Structure 1
């Protein structure tokens, strides 16, 4: 099916799959459509799926006691998103995940992920490599937030993910960087 072609390309960046293997693997993924501003995950819910983004843009965030958003992740095409703490620990969500744009996702349940990993060494290898890359990126982000200035964090974000600046509202970029919208306006060229 054409909807699954990007997923196959995504897998094949790390592992080769025969047509038969991919047909089997893709049978575990279910399409999910969401509209702009629709929630994928809400705090307190049980999270049974992780999501691969085919189309759209989403954000994961935590609300503090003053209802201020703290964005921890964006996800556009070819990225994965969920409340991973809730997903892997079968615990209630501590995050919100909602759509910045209309989105088309492929969902994978934890039980199906575990089944795939048990049955196919290739899939276990794929998910281990993705998890390792995510851990390295998160560690780098934490270090950057501890030792880099706001300007340096902004410059790094725009170099690494320039597409976000065309698709994500400025207040979400500011939240991701841990600054106010006003601070972001002061450090961006012409307040862009």
Structure 2
């Protein structure tokens, strides 16, 4: 399974076997069950998570108890509470498993250590952060300017595998629409 991590890194920068083994030694493998929390609001966030298999979601629950999904995570994706991870503060969001999942955990300390020691890894994380920033901006612009159908179509175009893994009510929450609206978008007449 660690080959998934190597493949992702090598899309950006090639590694020797020795480099990869050293990098991998800084990760901890963990398995989580469906519905199990990985991060809970108010806890310390010490890890960034690389998903080997499974599906996760990060979300915020507002003062009325409504869940707002910020991000999904599937195989070959990174996910954490980035605000808390980078500033080493308490979580402001929750993250749990939509299905049984296996992740590689990279502590903030180990990430900083690897970046200081291996220029290739610093380059890799810079490129990944840039891509995440672009995706976040696109998501915000879509939420601000697109109607429900446009948001849903864009999601399916970008991440077609999500509709097979994620229940419709979670997709509705991610898009900021009701389940009923999403059901209408899924009806054969649309």
TM range (shorter): over 0.9
Structure 1 residue aligned with 2:148? 150
- Per the alignment, residue 88 of structure 1 pairs with 86
The answer for the alignment partner of 1:176 in structure 2 is: 174
1:99-128 Cα offsets, whole Å, 9 max, x none, are 000000000000100000000100000000
Q: Who is 1:129 aligned against?
A: 127
Select 2:64's aligned residue among 53, 63, 66: 66
Unaligned runs of 5+ in 1: none
C-alpha distance in structure 2 between counterparts of 1:81 and 1:181, whole Å: 25
The offset of 1:191, in angstroms, is 9.1
Q: Which residue of 1 aligns with 2:164?
A: 166
Equivalence map 1:1-192=2 (5 Å): 3-190=1-188
**After TM superposition, what 4+ stretches of structure 1 lie above 2 angstroms from structure 2?**
189-192
SS of equivalent to 1:36: coil
Distance 1:139 1:191 in 2: 32
Distance in structure 2 (CA, Å) of the matches to 1:19 and 1:179: 47
Aligned-pair CA distance for 1:183: 1.1
**Aligned partner of residue 5 in structure 1, secondary structure:** helix
- Identify unmatched segments of 5+ residues in structure 2: none
Aligned residues: 190
Q: Which piece of structure 1 moves more, 3-12 or 36-45?
A: 3-12
Equivalent residues of 1:55, 1:103 under 8 A apart: yes
| TM-superposition CA deviations, 1:154-182 (whole Å, max 9, x none) | 00001111111011011100000001111
Q: Give the CA deviation at 1:189.
A: 2.8
Q: Does 140-149 or 100-109 show the bigger shift?
A: 140-149
Offset of residue 190 of structure 1: 3.8
Distance, in Å, in 2 between the alignment partners of 1:191 and 1:42 is 40
Please state how far the C-alpha of 1:50 moved relative to its aligned partner. Answer: 0.4
